[in-house]
Amino acid sequence: MSFQSQVYIEQPLGQPGTISRDNPIVKLPMIAEGSDLVAGGFAFAGTNAELQVKGLSSGAKAVEGFVVMERYQAPLGGIGNNLKINEGEEVAIVKKGYCYAVSTTSATKGMHVLVNPATGAISTAVVTATAGTGALSGSINVTQGTVTGTVSGSDVTGTTAGVAAAFGSDAKADMGSVSGIADGLIDTGWVVVTGGSANGVCEIACL
């Protein structure tokens, strides 16, 4: 028998849609609305946002959490479609914690996790935020009031109209900028912890 010639120093990545580390973890039980919710994907607010979540939502601006499957369900979608959650099933939505996911792009530790709310596709990107100064630029239109009346000694009597100011159409404040998020994608607030190749399993976290 030959001597061992290779040693693996990295733990294998697990099944997408499962929790990768026991602590910390914050999750809520929710009910699947529609047929688009998938374990290993992100969830969006349903019709009843306190009870329901759904897998696709074109107008969404934020995610409710990451979907994990913690119970058995009837394979209504077929054996080869076992990550899809049946409508009406209870599902765990992870708000904070570590989970396994599949990204359509290669993932490296520290990258932001993005999602397309119209398709549910998960991707990763380097996102850079630039702080703003708050400085105003553009035109400000000022209309001064008028003073009428008589001057008696140091007193002015009469009526005084106020001073009105309005921002022009080109006025704006420097509020900073964010780059790296393509149009139509949402920054989920999750980041890559253990990277992987495109369409491969990676570990993501929200802490």
Do 100 and 156 fall within a single domain?
no
- Residue 157's pLDDT is 54
Q: Is residue 4 part of a domain?
A: no
Distance (Å, whole) CA 198 – CA 182:
17
Do 140 and 160 fall within a single domain?
yes
Name the amino acid, one letter, at 184: G
What is the total count of domains within the chain? 2
Residue numbers of the domain that contains 155:
136-173
Distance (Å, whole) CA 29 – CA 69:
10
Q: Is residue 12 part of a domain?
A: no
Do 87 and 36 fall within a single domain?
yes
| Partners of residue 178 on adjacent β-strands | 129
Distance (Å, whole) CA 115 – CA 181:
10
Do 94 and 182 fall within a single domain?
yes
Do 166 and 74 fall within a single domain?
no
Do 167 and 183 fall within a single domain?
no
Distance (Å, whole) CA 59 – CA 118:
8
Q: Among 86-95, 113-122, 163-172, which is the least confidently predicted range?
A: 163-172
- Residue 62's pLDDT is 96
pTM for the whole structure: 0.73
- Residue 190's pLDDT is 98
